[in-house]
């Protein structure tokens, strides 16, 4: 906590309530993973909330308004969701941002979330090549063309133990020693799963966001190990980003088992 935090108390980015970056009511808008039908995306796609109301405000505040403290809340939600998506060990692959956008936001926002997920290893191996435009306002076809051939994989050999490398070698964030997972909790009234354990931030251990605790970070999984590789993003609209990322990973010899997004801007389909 800084002196500025003491002088200017935190307010919920979802509703403006004083006292915390994310109040319990707004956190309650996120639920357990819900399966989506997204044409063109082969792995199962899961979301935690619709892109509206409090979830939308929280995502926008985190992504565009510098509310970086929300990374801990989002990371805990993702950690809880992984229990339902696939077996451990989990490896998160953050969907990439345009370099200019990441620079304006003070860093890659999805990577920031992934690094708060203490139960999973993180493999930031995806990059966007030059020439990718902002997708806001683009239709489905234009979004696909915008990303076609422009998602690159760097450092897959180090991250997943696959043969060869694709693109310029990059660093892979696989911090943390192998950990054990605490007892799986149950989804409570807030719609989030509580699990035994603590979060680790910048090498120190402390409590996570109220009501959500994550177990110790797992170590990286090798290419042949059982487990679940999850593409992580903040929102899905047309599925163009997820499709391009999954395809790039597959071409690099990495299979994405699932896609997890915080929110979905897609209209609900039959039975969703």
What are the distances in angstroms from CA 257 to CA 35, 116, 176, 236, 254? 13, 21, 22, 17, 9
Element holding 35 (H helix, E strand) = strand 34-36
**Helices first, then strands: H and E counts in the chain:** 9, 10
What is the rounded CA–CA span in Å between residue 155 and residue 172?
Answer: 6
What are the distances in angstroms from CA 70 to CA 55, 155, 215, 256? 11, 28, 19, 26
Least confident of 56-65, 79-88, 135-144, 214-223: 214-223
Per residue in 160-203, pLDDT tens? 977 544 443 333 333 332 332 233 333 333 333 333 333 332 33
Question: What's the whole-model pTM score?
Answer: 0.77
Q: Label each residue of 111-151 as H, E or C.
A: HHHHCCCCCEEECCCEEECCCCCCCCCCCHHHHHHHHCCCE
What is the rounded CA–CA span in Å between residue 17 and residue 23?
Answer: 7
């Amino acid at each position: 906590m800084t002196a500025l935090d003491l002088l200017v108390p935190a307010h919920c980015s979802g509703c403006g309530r004083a006292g915390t970056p994310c109040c319990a009511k707004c956190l309650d808008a996120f639920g357990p993973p819900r399966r989506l039908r997204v044409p063109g995306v082969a792995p199962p796609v899961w979301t935690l909330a619709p892109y509206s109301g409090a979830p939308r405000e929280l995502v926008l505040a985190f992504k565009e308004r510098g509310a970086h403290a929300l990374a801990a809340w989002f990371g805990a939600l993702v950690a809880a969701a992984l229990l339902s998506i696939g077996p451990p060990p989990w490896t998160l692959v953050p969907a990439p941002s345009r370099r200019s956008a990441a620079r304006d936001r003070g860093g890659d926002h999805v990577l920031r979330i992934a690094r708060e997920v203490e139960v999973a290893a993180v493999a930031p191996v995806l990059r966007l090549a030059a020439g990718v435009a902002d997708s806001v306002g683009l239709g489905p076809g234009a979004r696909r063309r915008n990303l076609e051939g422009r998602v690159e994989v760097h450092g897959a050999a180090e991250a997943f133990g696959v043969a060869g490398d694709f693109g310029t070698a990059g660093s892979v964030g696989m911090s943390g020693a192998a950990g054990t997972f605490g007892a799986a909790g149950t989804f409570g009234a807030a719609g989030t799963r509580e699990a035994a354990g603590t979060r680790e931030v910048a090498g120190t251990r402390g409590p996570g966001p109220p009501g959500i605790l994550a177990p110790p970070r797992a170590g990286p999984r090798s290419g042949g190990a059982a487990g679940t590789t999850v593409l992580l993003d903040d929102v899905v609209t047309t599925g163009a980003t997820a499709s391009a990322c999954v395809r790039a990973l597959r071409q690099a010899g990495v299979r994405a088992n699932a896609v997890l997004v915080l929110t979905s801007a897609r209209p609900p389909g039959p039975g969703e």
